[in-house]
Amino acid sequence: MDQQTNHSEVMALNEKGVYTFRMGELFSGPGGLAIGASLASTQAGRIVHQWATDYDMDTCRTYALNVAGDENAPSVVHGDIRTLDYEVLAALGHIDGLSFGFPCNDFSAVGERKGFDGEFGPLYTYGVKALKRFRPSWFLAENVGGIRADGGATLRQIFGDMIAAGYRIYPHYYKFEKYGVPQARHRMIVIGVRDDLDVEYKVPSPAPYSDIDVSAGRALDGIPAWAANQEFTRQSSTVIERLEHIPMGGNAWVDSMPEHLRINTQTKLSSIYRRLDPKKPAYTVTGSGGGGTHIYHWTEPRALTNRERARLQTFPDDFVFKGTKESVRKQIGMAVPPKGAKVIFEAILNSFAGVGYESVEPSLNNYIPK
């Protein structure tokens, strides 16, 4: 079946409200995008898992268990994208959509900003390669906002490659706390629509989500005892004493910190021993944890548990992360918040069905090569 015929059937089936978009994922992570896609349900249809791949075994186990329903599901392929044969994925079935949250380490504000010269910078090209191979009707690509830091040269190259692969793109800098996520998490997300399809994606407006309580206090309230991944992190007596001098929302650099508890460093990152403010969204959940970079409770002198971190990322309580406590922390920190992803996937569904919704202009249009 050619792609144009496939799209015609998509639209006809959507009009009957029964079409299912099948999604493939590269760099899948533990399943933030996949859970968000599964939660997205409109009159346009729904999105289901077809296949996924990631280089980390624990991540694959987590994804397979929670998304595919079996920790050993064959539709979740563990492998290095740089050597993976895409025909292995093709054998798992046709896809209508592709998502790839390509690793952001070399573009992150926290990292060394190696960009294309780093180990992770070129990995987006494997997403472009997949677009050419599978020709899905749409794609979602995600990375950190820091990718804009070099004046836009990186973005223009990435966007140009996506366009050359045969897609119209709609890049936007999403602030997820404005979409119901209890965390200040800002990400660049590009939606692409195959350029032979008469579909126009629009960036969903945050206005419908303005009344949602996105405070950290509300997010961490009422976690059930049965939920997994609630192991506490051991805190040394020095860390406990230091935290007791830090107020809600404060960090290690408070003026009242006793001399013997001060940290001697010239780089004063705001996230070091930073405690949450229960009345505000959490600061960004990351995959790190050492050197005071855990996220810390506002009254109890301790780091958050992984389940609490997962709550800030909007994973459901019945989502079970596999691996060691440290592995789980990394998985949670690298994920896309499911509830934020849900908003975007619903916009994709509505766009393909021609259903109107409140929207805003893409904020990164000026980086699209002319």
**Catalytic residue list contains 60:** no
Q: Which residues of 257-275 are buried (b: 16+ CB within 10 A; e: fewer)?
A: beeebeeeeeeeeebbbbb
- The region, left, alpha or beta by phi > 0 then psi within -120 to 50, assigned to residue 96 is alpha
For residue 359, what are the β-bridge partners?
A: 204
Identity of the amino acid at 71: E
Residues 6 or more apart in contact with residue 218 via CB below 8 angstroms: 182
Residues 6 or more apart in contact with residue 110 via CB below 8 angstroms: 286, 288
60, 89, 104, 353: the catalytic one is 104
- d(CA 251, CA 278) in angstroms, rounded, equals 15
Beta strands of 70-207 (E only): which ranges? 76-78, 97-100, 138-144, 167-175, 186-194, 203-204
Q: Which residues of 185-196 are buried (b: 16+ CB within 10 A; e: fewer)?
A: bebbbbbbbbee
3 state SS of 328? helix
Catalytic residues: 104
